[in-house]
Amino acid sequence: MRCSDTEPSSLGLFSESDLQQPARSDALGPQAWVLRGFALPWIERLLPRLDEVLAAAPFRHMVTPGGFSMSVGLSSCGQWGWTTDRSGYRYSRIDPQSLRPWPAMPEVFRQLAEAAADAAGFSRFTPDSCLINCYRPGAKMSLHQDKNEHDFNAPIVSLSLGLPAIFLFGGQQRSDQSQRVPLLHGDVVVWGGVDRLRYHGVLPLKDGNHPQLGQQRINLTFRLAG
């Protein structure tokens, strides 16, 4: 499941300190929330499924329409996978690398995404796409809007795993001020409604070593794409 395979592939269980972390949520906007530690009780069940997905659809560095190779490694699972190449950003049912459908979305992924959406006030969210981003130290995500999905009524649910990152949460215009939001292993961000099209990004990842994930951050974003 690693961006590189230099580290052991066995994954630890969550620790006592994970279980003791109090659940807390912070509002980033009227309909945008960080659910602190929300996923911690799910991670032990989730990581083996993530390993399987990444064995079938390994991380790869895709090229933007402008011709730049992304610093973040990408994969997907579910009915639709997000891709980019010289001809644009889009969702595809087929992994352009394997030429096969993306791996199915594991049940535990879908359950976690639905539970988090529900906790943030978006009931009846069922994702059909999970984009998986891998950040190594130095990798970043420039400010962008998520607007390749068909239905902006559905929220997006975003799970952080591994090394901490600073998430930038901006406004409706690229030039609006951004909030800096530290995200830790097990945190879930949910946003939709009036906040659905806000600009956001991730600052370059700092070096570090996470006890379960090693030298990387993995982010899963669940969407209704099709």
Could you say whether residue 187 binds Fe ion (CB under 5 A)?
no
Could you say whether residue 112 binds ligand MD6 (CB under 6 A)?
no
Q: How far is the CB of 77 from ligand MD6 (least distance, A)?
A: 16
Q: Is 85 in a helix, a strand, or coil? A: strand
Give phi and psi for 82, each to the nearest 5: -85, 130
Size of the site for Fe ion (CB under 5 A): 1
User: Which letter, b or e, does each residue of 36-73 get, where b requires 16 or more Cβ atoms within 10 Å of its Cβ?
Assistant: bbbbbebbeebbebbeebbeebbbeebeeeeeeebbbb
Residue 75 binding result from ligand MD6, Fe ion, none, given CB thresholds of 5 to 8 Å by partner type: none
Range 178-207, binding ligand MD6 (CB under 6 A) = 189, 200, 202
Size of the site for ligand MD6 (CB under 6 A): 11
Range 113-142, binding ligand MD6 (CB under 6 A) = 133, 141
The mark string for 138-177 relative to Fe ion (x by CB under 5 A, - otherwise) is --------x-------------------------------
Helical (H) or strand (E) element with 118: helix 107-119
Could you say whether residue 146 binds ligand MD6 (CB under 6 A)?
yes
Q: How many CB atoms lie within 10 A of CB 175?
A: 8
Q: Are 167 and 33 in contact (CB under 8 A)?
A: no
Which positions touch Fe ion (CB under 5 A)?
146
